[in-house]
A and B are shown apart, each in its own frame.
Chain A
């Protein structure tokens, strides 16, 4: 197990390095120039030169990369040119928001998707199966922005139960925080729940036909216990894989949903940074996202270990 983890971590390092290089190089292809953008209306050549020097923009690309990477290794993600703030502070400010949103969305997806998938597999070909499949199809085909707007219309405008947008830190008021987050979380979770349901159903159908499920029933195990003890664990691998992927996607920013509900998360930070040619911020966000992805994949691998004893020996 430890050796396996060490191997995985060893692979993670070059992955991160390559990812950071790619993003660093790609940014140079963006039209526009930071120094010019920052220098204001007059475009004073002296000011531009000063900015160029200050942010090492006059140095060749590889040198700039090394300078930046050195900073990252020391925990310094650079400074946002636009906001005049350390990128690390920006990330630290936005990450908890996105993290909370992602966790809530994932929780909603699991709570809806997994039981619905189990139910439709157990009741295959019966009414419950068709209803669950119908709901899943609905969840897959509804665009996030439309569902978001409709929810705002219904719960905020019509019923007036929830705030239409905005964000309250949980430290201020947990209730208000949850009220603000529940709609975007549901919109994000809803789409994932549909995919989750389909995968759970497929995995469960396979497991339900297996010989060991017949053995369990021949032992006199009650139907619910057959599902909970014997099936779910064996059906868990595809669900974990999907969960890790979707969670990673959520963390890299649910741009559209964050925009609709004005949630100040990663997605918004990233979009703003790209528009402002705020390279340091873009790089910082990307490197954080990539790291989170890798950590999540690692966690998924650990989860495989826990559900599949065969892997433990390898």
Chain B
């Protein structure tokens, strides 16, 4: 497979707050190959968004701070780049799509001006050439009557269309990596499906890798090759999407799956099971496995020592889990018992 496109090693991001230092991201490591689609799942505060924003210098610092780690993108450590070099990566080699398309576009600039901006900054395109490319991009994200709409303002577009415009901006410079941070969360379900379909098509055309950040396992199932489950600033489980859904090894992943209404293979009429308890207070994180206090399978060791992320025994290669307990064994025993 060669050098991965993105190789994050021991990334730790902290925020100074009134109650002390909050470690929003706690030494996470993972790699992403060229053309791979990685779905990152977790609830608010899991560090799923913060770590990508932080590695590109998009969190306010202070109060934010990258405590340690490396983020190798095509072999270069993004954390050591100066502002200028990092700006060339942002929008040029890595495109971003954010959650709320209503507020993510500048209300005082035409759509054309906003699409042209990265073209001018990263590709040096100007004037008619830039406009031509902007038009191509609007066509590419399937906005009808693109030529007329180029000179309109964001408020003249619907929510789904605005997210298409955001995607057009993100892919304007044919990035190697597209990061979508809750890109469909604010949209209606039908529009959600359209946007996911569009991104899949664009991926085929452009061949970029994608990091799709969401709290919605259903969305991940529809788009990702690999899924990574994050909790309290750590990765609890990671693996090929089919394997992870069929054979979850972390109690948190299992909890997320069971709280979903009737995913393929589920039983109709089954009660949804919420995950008991609340996420930990990150100003005073628990020692050991952060999910242990909410986990009925937790062993005594879980409360003492944080488990490392390692290959899950008997699972598909690349299916990693951070757990001291053997969830598969425990579930088999539960099923066997009356």
Contact = CB atoms under 8 A, between A and B. Distances in A.
Contacts of A41: none
A288 interface: no
B88 A220 contact: yes
Contacts, number: 75
A309 B107 contact: yes
A85 interface: no
B153 to A, nearest CB: 4
Nearest to B155: A310
Interface string A138-163: 00000000000000000000000000
Interface in A195-236: 210-212, 214-223, 229-230, 233-234
A234 B105 CA distance: 12
Contacts of A221: 87, 91, 117, 121
Nearest to B153: A309
B56 interface: yes
Contacts of A308: 107-108
Interface stretch (B31-39, B95-103, B291-299): B95-103
A220 B122 CA distance: 8
A154 to B, nearest CB: 41
B90 A212 contact: no
Decide if the interface of chain A is mainly helix, strand, loop or mixed: helix
B118 A233 contact: no
A230 B114 CA distance: 10
Q: How large is the interface on B (under 10, 10 to 19, 20 to 34, 35 or more residues)?
A: 20 to 34
A93 to B, nearest CB: 42
A215 B107 contact: no
Interface in B81-129: 83, 87-92, 96, 98-100, 103-110, 117-118, 121-122
B213 to A, nearest CB: 14
A214 B108 contact: no
A211 B103 contact: yes
Contacts of B90: 217-220
B166 interface: yes
B177 interface: no
A307 interface: yes
Contacts of B169: 215, 219
Contacts of B107: 212, 234, 308-310
B58 interface: yes
Interface of B: 56, 58, 83, 87-92, 96, 98-100, 103-110, 117-118, 121-122, 153, 155-156, 166, 169
The 8 A-B pairs of least Cβ separation, nearest first, read A220-B91, A219-B91, A218-B96, A309-B153, A211-B103, A212-B106, A220-B90, A220-B87
6 contacts: A211-B103, A212-B105, A216-B106, A222-B121, A223-B83, A307-B108
